[in-house]
């Protein structure tokens, strides 16, 4: 017995709104910080730290919150995250100096971290046979929110002050609290295996006990891919404004096209990878990563905003085959009673990778110039391609027995 579909859809909408609220300010923090500081050194530090801060907070606390969710229920962790997001966004709206902003951004990550508990909650109410589709669905909500939030944030900044971006985001997070409290049931653990489908039972039996080496291989690949994705984060708006000389709404639109491509392709990728073995998934993931290498190199070389935007859309479509599929694979490997902890670990890995990606991008922009940043992205993806090939070879002895036992 699984949750009614409308509860899954409500989870989708809530995550869409909350993540969209966060992305309203996402591309524009460097623009805002440039107005607050005169020192180039302080600006360089702050434009990286404003993104790294919440990631450090999530990295340090995500596994802990995951354990709390396993013990007390993941719904309570969702509510805690939404309250943390609302409070910090409201405080950011009134923050008038760089150090206050950086402190609040760190606290935002430490107190919030919504995605991991939402994923764990979804796993607790959804049939395991639909796990890859669930993660793709929730990733779609995040990326639709990213698309809408970035565009709305750009429109607000073109017509009003940065204050209204954060204030509006805080109100949206508050609005998400009520439907979660009223309509989503409290669930601590998944229902017993006897209530699941035969396919779900087989998959659950295969997942116990957890194999740390298999989880580590997938986390390595996921981490490298997320690192590559985040290299351009701190310098994106400045890169687009400097190379193409466009308005802020165009910057937001290009930023959101990555999410639009993700949304367009994620459901297809979920169906494509759903029934495949871990080794087969990694084999086909190598082709996807190779596509990311080509697309990011074209984006870095073009002088046309239209080609750049098109490459961002294609890049987003390829990313639809990475994070949700690999996260679902990690969830498949882990026992049901440890979903919060393992998904929290995956979230911490993602944040550490993002921090490294942003720091690497900031350093590279200083050394080699922001105009060359996408060539670095292509190089990191090439490293990810080798990591995925290593995972394909590494998992060979373990996948065949598991696959046969599930037939």
pLDDT score recorded for residue 311? 96
Measure CA 376 to chain center: 21
Alpha helices (H) in 96-211, listed in sequence order = 98-111, 115-125, 131-159, 163-183, 198-207
> d(Cα 23, Cα 93) in Å, to the nearest integer?
14
Which residues, given as ranges, of the chain have pLDDT below 70? 1-3, 188-211, 396-407
pLDDT score recorded for residue 59? 85
Task: Of 346, 206, 347, 217, give the one whose Cα is nearest residue 279.
Answer: 217
Exposure pattern of 66-85 as b/e (b: 16+ CB <10 Å)? bebbbeebbbbbbbbbbbbb
> d(Cα 290, Cα 294) in Å, to the nearest integer?
7
Place of tokens 């291989």: 217
Task: Of 265, 331, 323, 338, give the one whose Cα is nearest residue 129.
Answer: 331
What the block records as the tokens of 230 is 């985040």
Q: Residue 230, CB half-sphere, CA atoms under 13 Å: how many?
A: 22
> d(Cα 210, Cα 207) in Å, to the nearest integer?
6
Place of tokens 């550490």: 352
Which string of DSSP letters, residue by residue, matches 79-129? HHHHHHHHHHHHHHHH--SHHHHHHHHHHHHHH---HHHHHHHHHHHS-GG
pLDDT score recorded for residue 362? 84
> d(Cα 84, Cα 91) in Å, to the nearest integer?
11
> d(Cα 308, Cα 291) in Å, to the nearest integer?
15
Q: Would you tell me how many other CB atoms lie within 10 Å of the CB of residue 256?
A: 29
What helix, strand, coil percent values describe the chain, rounded to 5? 85, 0, 15
pTM above 0.85, yes or no: no
CB 354 within 8 A of CB 55: yes
Domains of the chain: 5-394 (1.20.1250.20)
pLDDT score recorded for residue 395? 76
> d(Cα 115, Cα 121) in Å, to the nearest integer?
10
């Amino acid at each position: 017995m699984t949750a009614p579909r409308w509860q899954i859809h409500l989870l989708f909408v809530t995550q869409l709104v909350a993540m969209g609220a966060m992305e309203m300010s996402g591309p524009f923090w460097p623009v805002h910080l440039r107005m607050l500081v005169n020192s180039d050194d302080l600006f360089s530090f702050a434009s990286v730290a404003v993104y790294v801060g919440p990631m450090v907070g999530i990295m340090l606390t995500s596994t802990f919150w995951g354990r709390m969710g396993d013990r007390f229920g993941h719904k309570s962790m969702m509510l805690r995250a939404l309250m943390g997001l609302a409070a910090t966004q409201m405080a950011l709206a009134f923050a008038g100096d760089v150090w206050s902003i950086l402190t609040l951004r760190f606290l935002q990550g430490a107190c919030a971290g919504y995605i991991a508990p939402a994923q764990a909650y979804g796993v607790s109410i959804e049939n395991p046979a639909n796990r890859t589709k669930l993660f793709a669905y929730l990733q779609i909500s995040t990326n639709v929110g990213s698309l809408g939030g970035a565009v709305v944030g750009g429109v607000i900044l073109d017509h009003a002050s940065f204050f209204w971006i954060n204030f509006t985001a805080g109100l949206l997070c508050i609005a998400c609290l009520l439907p979660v409290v009223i309509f989503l049931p409290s669930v601590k653990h998944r229902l017993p295996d006897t209530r699941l489908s035969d396919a779900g039972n087989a998959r659950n039996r295969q997942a116990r006990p957890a194999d740390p080496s298999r989880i580590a291989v997938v986390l390595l690949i996921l981490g490298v891919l997320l690192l590559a994705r985040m290299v351009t984060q701190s310098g994106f708006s400045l890169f687009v404004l400097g190379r193409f000389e466009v308005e802020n709404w165009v910057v937001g639109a290009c930023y959101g096209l990555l999410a639009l491509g993700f949304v367009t392709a994620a459901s297809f990728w979920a169906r494509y990878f759903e029934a495949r073995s871990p080794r087969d998934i990694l084999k086909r993931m190598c082709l996807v990563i190779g596509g990311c290498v080509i697309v990011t190199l074209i984006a870095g070389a073009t002088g046309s905003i239209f080609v750049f935007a098109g490459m961002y859309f294609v890049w987003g479509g390829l990313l639809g085959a990475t994070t949700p599929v690999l996260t679902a694979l990690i969830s498949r490997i882990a026992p049901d009673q440890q979903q919060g902890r393992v998904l929290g670990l995956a979230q911490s890995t993602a944040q550490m990778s993002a921090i490294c990606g942003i720091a690497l991008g900031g350093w590279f922009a200083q050394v080699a110039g922001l105009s060359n940043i996408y060539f670095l992205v292509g190089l990191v993806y090439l490293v990810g391609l080798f990591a995925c090939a290593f995972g394909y070879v590494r998992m060979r002895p373990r996948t065949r027995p598991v696959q046969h036992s599930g037939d």
